[in-house]
Amino acid sequence: MQQAREEKQLETALEGIIQRVNDLKSSIAAMIYKVENEYETLNWPTFLDNYALLSGHLTSLSKLLNHDKCPPLRNLTVLPLILSPERDEQLVQTTEGRVTTFAHDLVPDYLRTKLEPMAENKMLQLEHKAATLTYENAQKQITAYQKVVSHVWDIVNKAREEWEVESSSRGNTQQNSSVADTHLLVAAVGMGKGLKQMVTNPNGQPNQNSGGIMVAPQGPGRPGAPPGQVSIASSTQGIMNKAPSAIKTNIKSATQIHPYGR
């Protein structure tokens, strides 16, 4: 009874593992297809979604392997029952065409429980080197690695701080324009809103004491002006009183003798 229950439990666990592996294989195949055939339209969010799907399948497979009802597969051994150099259609269907024969030259690669001889020799060399390393040399190497990791960590943190400062400065950009002032200027230029009428003296000249923007209708001082023409002028005295300029200007007299006399 105990053996039958263990076999039933193993069969159920293998079915679940095979299903999770097939889901993972399908996701990997779909991702490879997108990378190879849809690289022109593939964007980064879609790639991350596919990667997250792969990560989810790996997590579910890991949970299944670590479940209490899943028997420890490392304690089980797979043994070949039949070795034949001839083509096995059932094996081809099971492996989706990857393996056609279960011959003597393929069994060590597919059913090995140890590393390949070259990889195993490399691992033995590394283990021997680690075992013969002195404590002082090991501490020196650890210190050097820690310095490198700390330096990289500082660079990453500095770049992160600069990025955060730049992002915050973009969000708090100072306003350098006024919508209300823009509307006032458009209304003044387009419709004459807010403009003052220019006061003229009896001689037909504008009054220099009135500041700001002035509008003068057609009058005796402007002969020949068409009806409805509006002139915009600025008071020189008002501008000088408001914003005195520090630039010295040399104004030449207009009564100079023209080089080409008439």
Distance CA 104, CA 94 (A): 19
The answer to whether residues 107 and 128 belong to one domain is no
Distance CA 230, CA 184 (A): 19
The answer to whether residues 1 and 46 belong to one domain is yes
Closest Cα partner for 76 from 13, 18, 1?
13
Q: What sign for the dihedral angle of Cα 102, 106, 110, 112?
A: positive
56-98 pLDDT per residue, tens: 999 999 988 888 888 888 888 888 888 888 888 988 888 888 8
pLDDT of residue 220: 45
The answer to whether residues 101 and 150 belong to one domain is no
DSSP tag of 243:
S
pLDDT top residue among 96 and 149: 149
Question: Can you give the pTM of this predicted structure?
Answer: 0.42
Q: How many helices (H) and strands (E) does the chain have?
A: 8, 3
25-59 pLDDT per residue, tens: 999 999 999 889 988 888 888 888 988 999 999 99
Confirm whether 52 is domain-assigned.
yes
Q: Is 232 helix (H, G, I), strand (E, B) or coil?
A: strand
The answer to whether residues 42 and 89 belong to one domain is no
The answer to whether residues 88 and 29 belong to one domain is no
The answer to whether residues 10 and 52 belong to one domain is yes
CA angle, corner 181, sides to 177 and 185, nearest 5?
A: 120
Question: Is the CB of residue 210 less than 8 Å from the CB of residue 235?
Answer: yes
Amino acid at the residue 182: T
> How many domains, in total, are found in the chain?
3
pLDDT of residue 24: 92
Confirm whether 213 is domain-assigned.
no
Closest Cα partner for 215 from 237, 189, 241?
189
Closest Cα partner for 61 from 11, 23, 6?
23
Distance CA 206, CA 69 (A): 103
DSSP string, 63-111: HHHTSTTS--GGG-----S--BSS--HHHHHHTTTS---B-TTTHHHHS
The answer to whether residues 89 and 156 belong to one domain is no
Q: How many residues does the chain have?
A: 262
The pLDDT of 148-171, averaged and rounded, is 87
The answer to whether residues 59 and 97 belong to one domain is no
Q: Kindly list the distances between the CA atom of residue 102 and the CA atoms of 41, 94, 109, 215, in Å, as whole numbers in the listed order.
A: 42, 12, 11, 103
The answer to whether residues 33 and 44 belong to one domain is yes
Neighbours of 57 (CB within 10 A): 19
The answer to whether residues 69 and 86 belong to one domain is no
The answer to whether residues 53 and 103 belong to one domain is no
Confirm whether 200 is domain-assigned.
no
Parent domain of 61:
1-76
The pLDDT of 186-200, averaged and rounded, is 77
Confirm whether 235 is domain-assigned.
no
β 231-234/213-216 pair status: antiparallel
Confirm whether 150 is domain-assigned.
yes
Task: Kindly state the percentage of the chain with pLDDT values over 70.
Answer: 72
